[in-house]
Structure 1
Amino acid sequence: MLVFLHGFNGNKELWLSTVFPLRSTHGVLIPDLPGHGASDNPENGDYRLEAYASAITELLLAEGITNYCLVGSSMGCAVAANLIRGSVSNIHALFFISPFGITERQIRKIRNFRKGTNSPFIVKDIDDYKAFFQTVVHKPLRIPGWVKYYLAIDHIRRNEHIEVMFDALVTSNECLSTLQKERIPLIVLAGRADVVVDTDCFTFLENQLYDCQLHWLSNIGHLPMLEAPKRLATAIQYLLPCSLTNRKYYLGDS
Protein backbone atom coordinates (compact mmCIF):
# COMPACT_ATOMS: atom_id res chain seq x y z
CA MET A 1 0.00 0.00 0.00
CA LEU A 2 1.24 3.49 -0.89
CA VAL A 3 -0.06 6.34 1.27
CA PHE A 4 0.34 9.79 -0.32
CA LEU A 5 0.50 12.95 1.81
CA HIS A 6 0.26 16.36 0.14
CA GLY A 7 1.91 19.55 1.37
CA PHE A 8 0.71 22.77 2.98
CA ASN A 9 -2.40 24.24 1.31
CA GLY A 10 -2.46 21.34 -1.14
CA ASN A 11 -5.01 18.59 -1.66
CA LYS A 12 -5.30 15.00 -2.82
CA GLU A 13 -5.98 16.06 -6.40
CA LEU A 14 -2.34 17.09 -6.76
CA TRP A 15 -1.40 13.38 -6.75
CA LEU A 16 -3.91 12.04 -9.26
CA SER A 17 -1.71 12.08 -12.39
CA THR A 18 1.14 10.46 -10.47
CA VAL A 19 -1.00 7.81 -8.80
CA PHE A 20 -2.90 6.72 -11.93
CA PRO A 21 -0.07 4.60 -13.44
CA LEU A 22 0.72 3.08 -10.03
CA ARG A 23 -2.79 1.80 -9.31
CA SER A 24 -2.38 -1.35 -11.40
CA THR A 25 0.45 -2.65 -9.21
CA HIS A 26 -0.13 -1.05 -5.80
CA GLY A 27 -2.96 -0.15 -3.50
CA VAL A 28 -3.08 3.62 -2.95
CA LEU A 29 -4.58 5.92 -0.32
CA ILE A 30 -4.68 9.67 -1.00
CA PRO A 31 -6.28 11.61 1.86
CA ASP A 32 -6.86 15.32 2.28
CA LEU A 33 -5.11 16.53 5.42
CA PRO A 34 -7.35 18.29 7.99
CA GLY A 35 -8.16 21.82 6.87
CA HIS A 36 -7.30 21.01 3.26
CA GLY A 37 -9.32 19.96 0.23
CA ALA A 38 -12.57 18.23 1.14
CA SER A 39 -11.63 17.69 4.80
CA ASP A 40 -13.26 19.62 7.61
CA ASN A 41 -11.61 22.94 8.48
CA PRO A 42 -12.95 24.14 11.84
CA GLU A 43 -11.67 27.51 13.05
CA ASN A 44 -10.43 25.95 16.29
CA GLY A 45 -8.85 22.96 14.55
CA ASP A 46 -5.37 21.73 15.36
CA TYR A 47 -3.15 22.25 12.32
CA ARG A 48 0.25 21.37 13.75
CA LEU A 49 2.33 18.69 12.05
CA GLU A 50 1.78 16.39 15.02
CA ALA A 51 -2.01 16.76 14.70
CA TYR A 52 -1.94 15.99 10.97
CA ALA A 53 0.02 12.84 11.75
CA SER A 54 -2.50 11.78 14.42
CA ALA A 55 -5.38 12.26 11.96
CA ILE A 56 -3.70 10.10 9.32
CA THR A 57 -2.88 7.44 11.92
CA GLU A 58 -6.56 7.29 12.89
CA LEU A 59 -7.54 6.98 9.23
CA LEU A 60 -5.10 4.13 8.63
CA LEU A 61 -6.34 2.26 11.70
CA ALA A 62 -9.96 2.76 10.64
CA GLU A 63 -9.14 1.34 7.18
CA GLY A 64 -7.21 -1.58 8.68
CA ILE A 65 -4.01 -0.55 6.88
CA THR A 66 -0.94 -1.71 8.81
CA ASN A 67 1.63 -2.39 6.07
CA TYR A 68 2.49 0.52 3.80
CA CYS A 69 4.98 2.99 2.38
CA LEU A 70 4.56 6.71 3.00
CA VAL A 71 4.98 9.14 0.10
CA GLY A 72 5.10 12.78 1.20
CA SER A 73 5.43 16.05 -0.67
CA SER A 74 6.91 19.16 0.96
CA MET A 75 5.18 19.54 4.35
CA GLY A 76 3.64 16.10 3.81
CA CYS A 77 7.12 14.68 4.42
CA ALA A 78 7.17 16.26 7.87
CA VAL A 79 3.71 14.80 8.52
CA ALA A 80 5.07 11.37 7.54
CA ALA A 81 8.05 11.82 9.86
CA ASN A 82 5.73 12.63 12.76
CA LEU A 83 3.49 9.70 11.86
CA ILE A 84 6.24 7.10 12.29
CA ARG A 85 6.91 8.29 15.85
CA GLY A 86 5.64 5.49 18.07
CA SER A 87 3.79 3.81 15.19
CA VAL A 88 2.86 0.15 15.66
CA SER A 89 2.36 -0.33 11.92
CA ASN A 90 4.86 -1.89 9.54
CA ILE A 91 6.13 1.09 7.55
CA HIS A 92 8.34 -0.38 4.84
CA ALA A 93 9.83 2.82 3.44
CA LEU A 94 9.54 6.58 3.15
CA PHE A 95 9.52 8.55 -0.08
CA PHE A 96 10.16 12.25 0.52
CA ILE A 97 9.49 14.53 -2.45
CA SER A 98 10.92 18.03 -1.99
CA PRO A 99 10.84 17.59 1.82
CA PHE A 100 10.12 20.71 3.88
CA GLY A 101 9.62 21.18 7.63
CA ILE A 102 12.01 18.38 8.61
CA THR A 103 14.99 20.19 10.10
CA GLU A 104 15.16 23.06 12.59
CA ARG A 105 16.61 25.21 9.80
CA GLN A 106 13.55 24.58 7.64
CA ILE A 107 11.19 25.29 10.54
CA ARG A 108 12.97 28.62 11.07
CA LYS A 109 12.46 29.44 7.39
CA ILE A 110 8.73 28.78 7.76
CA ARG A 111 8.64 31.06 10.82
CA ASN A 112 10.44 33.79 8.87
CA PHE A 113 7.84 33.46 6.11
CA ARG A 114 5.14 34.09 8.69
CA LYS A 115 6.90 37.05 10.30
CA GLY A 116 7.60 38.82 7.05
CA THR A 117 5.41 40.15 4.30
CA ASN A 118 6.94 37.97 1.60
CA SER A 119 5.22 34.69 2.38
CA PRO A 120 4.47 32.98 -0.94
CA PHE A 121 1.43 31.30 0.63
CA ILE A 122 -0.53 34.49 1.39
CA VAL A 123 -2.20 35.64 -1.82
CA LYS A 124 -3.98 39.01 -1.96
CA ASP A 125 -4.79 39.27 -5.67
CA ILE A 126 -4.41 37.54 -9.03
CA ASP A 127 -0.87 38.82 -9.52
CA ASP A 128 0.13 37.43 -6.13
CA TYR A 129 -1.23 34.04 -7.14
CA LYS A 130 0.75 34.10 -10.39
CA ALA A 131 3.89 34.88 -8.38
CA PHE A 132 3.05 32.05 -5.96
CA PHE A 133 2.66 29.58 -8.81
CA GLN A 134 5.93 30.69 -10.39
CA THR A 135 7.64 29.98 -7.07
CA VAL A 136 6.51 26.38 -6.70
CA VAL A 137 7.06 25.22 -10.30
CA HIS A 138 10.12 25.60 -12.51
CA LYS A 139 8.38 25.88 -15.86
CA PRO A 140 4.88 27.26 -16.60
CA LEU A 141 2.19 24.58 -16.54
CA ARG A 142 -0.28 24.19 -19.37
CA ILE A 143 -3.34 25.23 -17.41
CA PRO A 144 -6.25 27.12 -19.05
CA GLY A 145 -6.53 30.74 -17.97
CA TRP A 146 -10.00 30.30 -16.52
CA VAL A 147 -8.75 27.43 -14.33
CA LYS A 148 -5.90 29.58 -12.99
CA TYR A 149 -8.41 32.36 -12.33
CA TYR A 150 -10.67 30.00 -10.36
CA LEU A 151 -7.72 28.65 -8.35
CA ALA A 152 -6.58 32.19 -7.56
CA ILE A 153 -10.05 33.29 -6.42
CA ASP A 154 -10.42 30.16 -4.29
CA HIS A 155 -7.00 30.74 -2.72
CA ILE A 156 -7.86 34.36 -1.91
CA ARG A 157 -11.20 33.26 -0.44
CA ARG A 158 -9.36 30.89 1.92
CA ASN A 159 -6.67 33.37 2.99
CA GLU A 160 -7.93 33.74 6.55
CA HIS A 161 -8.04 29.98 7.04
CA ILE A 162 -4.61 29.59 5.42
CA GLU A 163 -3.19 32.08 7.92
CA VAL A 164 -4.74 30.12 10.80
CA MET A 165 -3.09 26.93 9.53
CA PHE A 166 0.21 28.75 9.01
CA ASP A 167 0.15 30.09 12.58
CA ALA A 168 -0.25 26.52 13.85
CA LEU A 169 2.39 25.15 11.50
CA VAL A 170 5.12 27.44 12.83
CA THR A 171 4.62 26.04 16.35
CA SER A 172 5.58 22.54 15.18
CA ASN A 173 8.86 20.94 16.16
CA GLU A 174 11.60 19.57 13.95
CA CYS A 175 11.35 15.85 13.26
CA LEU A 176 14.87 15.03 12.07
CA SER A 177 15.63 13.34 15.39
CA THR A 178 12.64 11.03 14.91
CA LEU A 179 13.90 9.95 11.50
CA GLN A 180 17.36 9.32 12.95
CA LYS A 181 15.92 7.05 15.65
CA GLU A 182 13.48 5.02 13.56
CA ARG A 183 15.97 3.94 10.85
CA ILE A 184 13.39 3.38 8.13
CA PRO A 185 14.75 3.31 4.55
CA LEU A 186 14.26 6.75 3.00
CA ILE A 187 14.34 7.87 -0.62
CA VAL A 188 14.46 11.61 -1.31
CA LEU A 189 13.34 12.82 -4.75
CA ALA A 190 14.33 16.46 -5.20
CA GLY A 191 13.95 18.96 -8.02
CA ARG A 192 17.19 20.55 -9.13
CA ALA A 193 15.34 23.83 -9.71
CA ASP A 194 13.48 23.92 -6.38
CA VAL A 195 13.52 27.49 -4.98
CA VAL A 196 11.15 26.85 -2.07
CA VAL A 197 13.62 24.58 -0.26
CA ASP A 198 17.36 25.22 -0.04
CA THR A 199 18.65 22.30 -2.07
CA ASP A 200 21.59 21.73 0.28
CA CYS A 201 18.98 20.59 2.82
CA PHE A 202 18.42 17.53 0.65
CA THR A 203 22.12 16.66 0.75
CA PHE A 204 22.08 17.26 4.50
CA LEU A 205 19.31 14.67 4.93
CA GLU A 206 21.22 12.14 2.85
CA ASN A 207 24.26 12.56 5.09
CA GLN A 208 22.35 12.52 8.37
CA LEU A 209 19.87 9.67 7.95
CA TYR A 210 20.14 5.91 7.88
CA ASP A 211 19.89 4.31 4.44
CA CYS A 212 18.85 7.57 2.81
CA GLN A 213 19.17 7.81 -0.95
CA LEU A 214 18.98 11.16 -2.73
CA HIS A 215 17.89 11.29 -6.37
CA TRP A 216 17.74 14.53 -8.34
CA LEU A 217 15.07 15.41 -10.91
CA SER A 218 16.49 17.81 -13.48
CA ASN A 219 14.50 20.86 -14.65
CA ILE A 220 11.93 20.32 -11.91
CA GLY A 221 10.87 22.69 -9.14
CA HIS A 222 9.05 22.07 -5.87
CA LEU A 223 6.05 20.11 -7.20
CA PRO A 224 7.15 17.20 -9.42
CA MET A 225 3.66 15.69 -9.25
CA LEU A 226 2.41 18.66 -11.29
CA GLU A 227 5.47 19.31 -13.41
CA ALA A 228 6.35 15.74 -14.40
CA PRO A 229 3.86 13.26 -12.92
CA LYS A 230 4.82 10.37 -15.21
CA ARG A 231 8.51 10.81 -14.41
CA LEU A 232 7.70 10.86 -10.73
CA ALA A 233 5.54 7.74 -10.96
CA THR A 234 8.28 5.96 -12.90
CA ALA A 235 10.85 6.94 -10.27
CA ILE A 236 8.66 5.64 -7.43
CA GLN A 237 7.94 2.42 -9.31
CA TYR A 238 11.62 1.92 -10.12
CA LEU A 239 12.94 2.71 -6.65
CA LEU A 240 10.31 0.86 -4.62
CA PRO A 241 12.12 -2.54 -4.80
CA CYS A 242 15.25 -0.73 -3.63
CA SER A 243 13.50 0.65 -0.57
CA LEU A 244 12.05 -2.73 0.34
CA THR A 245 15.29 -4.73 0.00
CA ASN A 246 17.88 -2.11 1.03
CA ARG A 247 19.62 -2.59 -2.29
CA LYS A 248 21.13 0.42 -4.04
CA TYR A 249 19.83 1.42 -7.45
CA TYR A 250 21.13 4.28 -9.58
CA LEU A 251 18.41 6.50 -10.96
CA GLY A 252 20.75 9.19 -12.20
CA ASP A 253 19.83 12.79 -12.87
CA SER A 254 16.65 11.73 -14.61
Structure 2
Amino acid sequence: MKFLLILLVAPLIALALLYFLFPGRLVAFGRWGLRKRGGMVQKSVTVDGRVWPYLEGGDPAKPLLLLVHGFAGDKDNWSMIAPYLTRDYHVIAPDLPGFGENERNPALAYDIAAQTARLKAFADALGLQRPHLAGNSMGGWIALRYALDYPDALASLTLLNNAGVNGANESDLQKQAANEDYNPLVLANLEDADRLVAMVVHRPPFIPARLKPALYGDALRYRDQLDHIFWIIATEGRDHPLNDRLGEVSAPTLIIWGRHDRLLDVSCVPVLEAGIADARSHIFEHLGHVPMVEDPKATAAVMKGFLGQH
Protein backbone atom coordinates (compact mmCIF):
# COMPACT_ATOMS: atom_id res chain seq x y z
CA MET A 1 0.00 0.00 0.00
CA LYS A 2 2.83 2.39 0.86
CA PHE A 3 4.52 1.65 -2.48
CA LEU A 4 1.28 2.39 -4.34
CA LEU A 5 0.91 5.68 -2.46
CA ILE A 6 4.45 6.66 -3.43
CA LEU A 7 3.68 5.89 -7.08
CA LEU A 8 0.63 8.14 -6.92
CA VAL A 9 2.22 11.02 -5.02
CA ALA A 10 5.65 11.12 -6.68
CA PRO A 11 4.46 12.64 -10.01
CA LEU A 12 2.59 15.36 -8.11
CA ILE A 13 5.68 16.20 -6.12
CA ALA A 14 7.75 16.31 -9.30
CA LEU A 15 5.25 18.68 -10.94
CA ALA A 16 5.23 20.90 -7.86
CA LEU A 17 9.02 21.07 -7.87
CA LEU A 18 9.05 21.94 -11.56
CA TYR A 19 6.43 24.65 -11.02
CA PHE A 20 8.30 26.35 -8.19
CA LEU A 21 11.91 25.70 -9.17
CA PHE A 22 11.93 25.20 -12.95
CA PRO A 23 8.75 26.70 -14.46
CA GLY A 24 10.39 26.89 -17.88
CA ARG A 25 10.92 23.14 -17.88
CA LEU A 26 7.31 22.62 -16.84
CA VAL A 27 6.12 24.67 -19.83
CA ALA A 28 8.46 22.70 -22.12
CA PHE A 29 7.13 19.46 -20.65
CA GLY A 30 3.55 20.58 -21.30
CA ARG A 31 4.42 21.46 -24.89
CA TRP A 32 6.04 18.05 -25.34
CA GLY A 33 2.95 16.38 -23.89
CA LEU A 34 0.62 18.15 -26.30
CA ARG A 35 2.77 17.16 -29.26
CA LYS A 36 2.97 13.58 -28.02
CA ARG A 37 -0.80 13.36 -27.62
CA GLY A 38 -1.30 14.51 -31.20
CA GLY A 39 1.46 12.33 -32.61
CA MET A 40 3.38 15.40 -33.73
CA VAL A 41 7.17 15.33 -34.06
CA GLN A 42 9.42 18.34 -34.64
CA LYS A 43 11.51 18.28 -37.81
CA SER A 44 13.25 20.87 -39.96
CA VAL A 45 14.09 21.54 -43.59
CA THR A 46 16.37 24.13 -45.19
CA VAL A 47 14.66 26.32 -47.76
CA ASP A 48 16.64 28.95 -49.65
CA GLY A 49 19.31 28.83 -46.97
CA ARG A 50 16.81 29.25 -44.11
CA VAL A 51 16.00 26.49 -41.61
CA TRP A 52 12.26 25.94 -41.22
CA PRO A 53 11.23 24.08 -38.04
CA TYR A 54 7.91 22.30 -38.38
CA LEU A 55 5.70 19.73 -36.68
CA GLU A 56 4.63 16.61 -38.55
CA GLY A 57 2.20 13.87 -37.61
CA GLY A 58 -0.14 11.29 -39.03
CA ASP A 59 0.24 8.72 -41.76
CA PRO A 60 2.06 10.09 -44.85
CA ALA A 61 -0.18 7.87 -46.97
CA LYS A 62 -3.26 9.82 -45.86
CA PRO A 63 -4.47 13.18 -47.27
CA LEU A 64 -2.08 16.04 -46.58
CA LEU A 65 -3.11 18.97 -44.37
CA LEU A 66 -0.81 22.01 -44.18
CA LEU A 67 -1.54 24.36 -41.26
CA VAL A 68 -0.39 28.00 -41.06
CA HIS A 69 -0.29 29.93 -37.77
CA GLY A 70 -1.17 33.57 -37.22
CA PHE A 71 0.66 36.71 -36.13
CA ALA A 72 2.88 36.19 -33.05
CA GLY A 73 1.94 32.49 -33.15
CA ASP A 74 3.93 29.41 -34.01
CA LYS A 75 3.61 25.76 -35.04
CA ASP A 76 2.34 24.75 -31.59
CA ASN A 77 -0.84 26.77 -32.15
CA TRP A 78 -2.01 23.55 -33.82
CA SER A 79 -0.87 21.08 -31.14
CA MET A 80 -4.21 21.06 -29.31
CA ILE A 81 -6.20 20.22 -32.43
CA ALA A 82 -3.65 17.71 -33.75
CA PRO A 83 -5.05 14.66 -31.89
CA TYR A 84 -8.32 15.06 -33.77
CA LEU A 85 -6.65 15.49 -37.16
CA THR A 86 -3.68 13.11 -37.26
CA ARG A 87 -5.94 10.05 -37.15
CA ASP A 88 -7.20 10.87 -40.63
CA TYR A 89 -4.63 13.25 -42.14
CA HIS A 90 -0.92 13.71 -42.67
CA VAL A 91 -0.47 17.00 -40.81
CA ILE A 92 2.36 19.52 -41.22
CA ALA A 93 2.58 22.81 -39.30
CA PRO A 94 5.64 25.08 -39.84
CA ASP A 95 6.99 28.14 -38.08
CA LEU A 96 6.86 31.03 -40.55
CA PRO A 97 9.94 33.28 -40.90
CA GLY A 98 9.78 35.93 -38.20
CA PHE A 99 7.99 33.68 -35.72
CA GLY A 100 8.55 30.71 -33.45
CA GLU A 101 11.91 29.03 -33.98
CA ASN A 102 12.28 30.18 -37.57
CA GLU A 103 14.71 32.94 -38.52
CA ARG A 104 13.84 36.30 -36.93
CA ASN A 105 15.63 38.49 -39.40
CA PRO A 106 14.36 42.10 -39.14
CA ALA A 107 15.67 42.81 -42.66
CA LEU A 108 13.28 40.34 -44.33
CA ALA A 109 10.16 41.48 -46.14
CA TYR A 110 7.10 40.48 -44.11
CA ASP A 111 4.33 41.51 -46.47
CA ILE A 112 1.80 38.80 -47.26
CA ALA A 113 3.01 38.18 -50.81
CA ALA A 114 6.55 37.54 -49.55
CA GLN A 115 5.42 35.16 -46.82
CA THR A 116 3.13 33.35 -49.26
CA ALA A 117 6.00 32.80 -51.69
CA ARG A 118 8.14 31.46 -48.82
CA LEU A 119 5.37 29.06 -47.79
CA LYS A 120 5.16 27.76 -51.35
CA ALA A 121 8.95 27.24 -51.37
CA PHE A 122 8.63 25.33 -48.07
CA ALA A 123 5.90 23.12 -49.55
CA ASP A 124 7.99 22.48 -52.66
CA ALA A 125 11.07 21.63 -50.58
CA LEU A 126 9.09 18.93 -48.77
CA GLY A 127 7.38 17.75 -51.95
CA LEU A 128 3.92 18.68 -50.61
CA GLN A 129 1.75 18.34 -53.70
CA ARG A 130 -1.72 19.91 -53.56
CA PRO A 131 -2.21 19.92 -49.78
CA HIS A 132 -5.41 20.82 -48.04
CA LEU A 133 -4.36 24.26 -46.78
CA ALA A 134 -5.67 25.85 -43.59
CA GLY A 135 -4.64 29.06 -41.84
CA ASN A 136 -5.66 31.15 -38.85
CA SER A 137 -5.63 34.97 -38.73
CA MET A 138 -2.50 36.18 -40.59
CA GLY A 139 -1.95 32.55 -41.58
CA GLY A 140 -5.43 32.51 -43.08
CA TRP A 141 -4.56 35.59 -45.10
CA ILE A 142 -1.43 33.82 -46.35
CA ALA A 143 -3.50 30.72 -47.17
CA LEU A 144 -6.01 32.87 -49.07
CA ARG A 145 -3.20 34.54 -51.02
CA TYR A 146 -1.72 31.07 -51.70
CA ALA A 147 -5.04 30.03 -53.26
CA LEU A 148 -4.94 33.13 -55.49
CA ASP A 149 -1.28 32.88 -56.49
CA TYR A 150 -1.07 29.09 -56.87
CA PRO A 151 -4.61 27.93 -57.68
CA ASP A 152 -3.49 24.51 -58.93
CA ALA A 153 -1.25 23.85 -55.92
CA LEU A 154 -3.86 23.10 -53.24
CA ALA A 155 -6.75 20.68 -52.85
CA SER A 156 -8.89 22.87 -50.60
CA LEU A 157 -8.79 26.02 -48.48
CA THR A 158 -9.86 26.41 -44.84
CA LEU A 159 -9.91 29.93 -43.41
CA LEU A 160 -10.08 30.26 -39.62
CA ASN A 161 -10.78 33.87 -38.61
CA ASN A 162 -8.56 35.00 -41.47
CA ALA A 163 -7.16 38.46 -41.96
CA GLY A 164 -6.91 40.09 -45.38
CA VAL A 165 -10.56 41.02 -45.90
CA ASN A 166 -12.64 43.84 -44.46
CA GLY A 167 -16.13 43.27 -43.13
CA ALA A 168 -18.95 45.75 -42.56
CA ASN A 169 -17.91 46.42 -38.96
CA GLU A 170 -14.57 47.39 -37.48
CA SER A 171 -13.11 45.08 -34.85
CA ASP A 172 -11.83 46.22 -31.47
CA LEU A 173 -8.30 45.72 -32.80
CA GLN A 174 -8.93 47.96 -35.80
CA LYS A 175 -10.44 50.68 -33.62
CA GLN A 176 -7.58 50.61 -31.12
CA ALA A 177 -4.90 50.61 -33.82
CA ALA A 178 -6.58 53.29 -35.95
CA ASN A 179 -4.16 56.06 -35.00
CA GLU A 180 -1.09 53.89 -35.65
CA ASP A 181 0.39 54.79 -32.26
CA TYR A 182 -0.81 51.78 -30.28
CA ASN A 183 -0.40 48.10 -31.12
CA PRO A 184 -2.82 46.02 -28.99
CA LEU A 185 -1.07 42.76 -29.99
CA VAL A 186 2.34 43.64 -28.52
CA LEU A 187 3.05 43.05 -24.83
CA ALA A 188 4.21 45.94 -22.69
CA ASN A 189 5.29 43.60 -19.88
CA LEU A 190 4.36 40.26 -18.31
CA GLU A 191 1.42 41.81 -16.45
CA ASP A 192 0.02 42.87 -19.82
CA ALA A 193 -0.33 39.23 -20.90
CA ASP A 194 -3.75 38.83 -19.27
CA ARG A 195 -5.11 41.73 -21.32
CA LEU A 196 -3.75 40.29 -24.55
CA VAL A 197 -5.05 36.77 -23.89
CA ALA A 198 -8.50 38.18 -23.04
CA MET A 199 -8.51 39.99 -26.37
CA VAL A 200 -7.67 36.86 -28.35
CA VAL A 201 -9.63 34.20 -26.46
CA HIS A 202 -13.30 34.59 -25.58
CA ARG A 203 -13.00 32.73 -22.27
CA PRO A 204 -9.38 33.18 -21.24
CA PRO A 205 -7.79 30.53 -19.02
CA PHE A 206 -6.01 31.36 -15.78
CA ILE A 207 -2.26 31.57 -16.33
CA PRO A 208 -0.15 31.21 -13.14
CA ALA A 209 2.29 34.07 -12.70
CA ARG A 210 5.30 31.76 -12.39
CA LEU A 211 4.68 30.36 -15.88
CA LYS A 212 4.35 33.70 -17.64
CA PRO A 213 8.10 34.35 -18.16
CA ALA A 214 8.41 31.00 -19.98
CA LEU A 215 5.18 31.43 -21.93
CA TYR A 216 5.65 35.04 -23.00
CA GLY A 217 9.42 35.47 -22.92
CA ASP A 218 9.78 35.40 -26.70
CA ALA A 219 6.94 37.91 -27.14
CA LEU A 220 8.84 40.37 -24.96
CA ARG A 221 12.27 39.54 -26.38
CA TYR A 222 11.11 40.17 -29.95
CA ARG A 223 8.59 42.88 -29.11
CA ASP A 224 10.09 45.54 -31.38
CA GLN A 225 10.31 43.21 -34.35
CA LEU A 226 6.77 41.94 -33.80
CA ASP A 227 5.58 45.53 -33.66
CA HIS A 228 7.37 46.21 -36.96
CA ILE A 229 5.73 43.19 -38.64
CA PHE A 230 2.33 44.08 -37.23
CA TRP A 231 2.28 47.52 -38.81
CA ILE A 232 3.40 46.11 -42.15
CA ILE A 233 0.47 43.72 -42.31
CA ALA A 234 -2.01 46.07 -40.61
CA THR A 235 -1.28 48.77 -43.21
CA GLU A 236 -1.54 46.24 -46.03
CA GLY A 237 -4.85 44.97 -44.66
CA ARG A 238 -6.24 48.49 -44.49
CA ASP A 239 -4.99 49.68 -47.88
CA HIS A 240 -4.97 46.49 -49.95
CA PRO A 241 -7.54 43.97 -48.69
CA LEU A 242 -8.43 41.03 -50.89
CA ASN A 243 -12.17 41.75 -50.98
CA ASP A 244 -12.16 42.44 -54.73
CA ARG A 245 -10.18 39.30 -55.55
CA LEU A 246 -12.29 36.72 -53.70
CA GLY A 247 -14.05 35.74 -56.92
CA GLU A 248 -10.73 34.40 -58.21
CA VAL A 249 -10.57 31.67 -55.57
CA SER A 250 -11.25 28.36 -57.27
CA ALA A 251 -10.40 25.93 -54.45
CA PRO A 252 -13.23 24.45 -52.38
CA THR A 253 -13.37 26.74 -49.34
CA LEU A 254 -14.46 26.44 -45.72
CA ILE A 255 -14.79 29.53 -43.52
CA ILE A 256 -14.64 29.12 -39.73
CA TRP A 257 -15.10 32.02 -37.31
CA GLY A 258 -15.66 32.71 -33.64
CA ARG A 259 -18.60 35.01 -32.99
CA HIS A 260 -16.69 36.86 -30.27
CA ASP A 261 -13.55 37.61 -32.27
CA ARG A 262 -12.26 41.02 -31.16
CA LEU A 263 -9.35 41.06 -33.63
CA LEU A 264 -11.20 40.34 -36.87
CA ASP A 265 -14.91 41.04 -36.83
CA VAL A 266 -17.36 38.27 -37.69
CA SER A 267 -18.89 40.57 -40.34
CA CYS A 268 -16.04 39.34 -42.57
CA VAL A 269 -17.87 36.03 -42.98
CA PRO A 270 -20.68 37.27 -45.29
CA VAL A 271 -18.05 39.09 -47.37
CA LEU A 272 -16.13 35.84 -47.85
CA GLU A 273 -19.34 33.89 -48.52
CA ALA A 274 -20.45 36.36 -51.18
CA GLY A 275 -17.05 36.55 -52.82
CA ILE A 276 -15.92 32.91 -52.94
CA ALA A 277 -18.11 30.67 -55.06
CA ASP A 278 -19.75 27.79 -53.17
CA ALA A 279 -17.89 28.57 -49.95
CA ARG A 280 -19.17 26.93 -46.78
CA SER A 281 -19.08 28.65 -43.41
CA HIS A 282 -19.46 27.81 -39.74
CA ILE A 283 -19.65 30.38 -36.95
CA PHE A 284 -18.96 29.16 -33.41
CA GLU A 285 -21.15 31.09 -30.99
CA HIS A 286 -18.90 30.42 -27.98
CA LEU A 287 -15.45 31.17 -29.41
CA GLY A 288 -13.14 34.07 -30.23
CA HIS A 289 -10.16 34.45 -32.52
CA VAL A 290 -8.47 31.04 -32.27
CA PRO A 291 -11.07 28.26 -32.63
CA MET A 292 -8.44 25.52 -32.94
CA VAL A 293 -7.15 26.46 -29.49
CA GLU A 294 -10.41 27.38 -27.74
CA ASP A 295 -12.39 24.30 -28.82
CA PRO A 296 -10.10 22.01 -30.82
CA LYS A 297 -12.47 19.04 -30.88
CA ALA A 298 -15.42 20.98 -32.30
CA THR A 299 -13.20 22.85 -34.75
CA ALA A 300 -11.67 19.60 -35.99
CA ALA A 301 -15.13 18.09 -36.46
CA VAL A 302 -16.18 20.96 -38.75
CA MET A 303 -12.92 20.78 -40.66
CA LYS A 304 -13.11 17.01 -41.13
CA GLY A 305 -16.72 17.21 -42.27
CA PHE A 306 -15.61 19.57 -45.02
CA LEU A 307 -12.32 17.89 -45.91
CA GLY A 308 -13.97 14.50 -46.15
CA GLN A 309 -15.93 15.78 -49.15
CA HIS A 310 -12.79 16.92 -50.97
Q: Which of the five TM-score ranges fits, normalised by the shorter chain?
A: 0.7 to 0.9
What is the deviation of 1:151?
Answer: 2.4
State the match for 1:126 in structure 2. 190
Is contact 1:189-1:215 (8 Å) kept? Answer: yes
Q: Root-mean-square deviation (CA), in Å? A: 2.3
State the match for 1:50 in structure 2. 113
Written as runs of structure 1 = structure 2, the 5 A alignment for 1:103-252 is: 103=166, 113=177, 115-141=179-205, 143-172=207-236, 173-242=240-309, 244=310
Distance 1:111 1:220, change over 3 A: closer
CA distance in 1, matches of 2:179, 2:71: 17
Distance 1:67 1:151, change over 3 A: same
Is contact 1:66-1:89 (8 Å) kept? Answer: no
What is the deviation of 1:219?
Answer: 0.8
Runs of 4 or more off by more than 6 Å in structure 1? 104-107
CA distance in 2, matches of 1:116, 1:170: 9
SS of aligned partner of 2:262: coil
State the match for 2:165 in structure 1. 102
Is contact 1:46-1:168 (8 Å) kept? Answer: no
CA distance in 2, matches of 1:114, 1:35: 24
Amino acid at match of 1:24: R
Which structure: larger Rg?
Answer: 2
Identity of aligned residues (%): 25
Is contact 1:188-1:213 (8 Å) kept? Answer: yes
Is contact 2:133-2:143 (8 Å) kept? Answer: yes
- In structure 1, the gaps of 5 or more residues are 245-254
- The answer to which structure, 1 or 2, has the higher relative contact order (CA under 8 A, 6+ apart) is 1
CA distance in 2, matches of 1:23, 1:199: 29
| TM-score, reference length from structure 2 | 0.71
What is the deviation of 1:110?
Answer: 5.5
Amino acid at match of 1:22: L
Amino acid at match of 1:99: N
Written as runs of structure 1 = structure 2, the 5 A alignment for 1:46-85 is: 46-85=109-148
Amino acid at match of 1:219: H
| TM-score, reference length from structure 1 | 0.86
What is the deviation of 1:101?
Answer: 2.1
What is the deviation of 1:117?
Answer: 4.0
Amino acid at match of 1:32: D
Is contact 1:103-1:174 (8 Å) kept? Answer: yes
What is the deviation of 1:215?
Answer: 0.6
Q: How many residues align?
A: 242
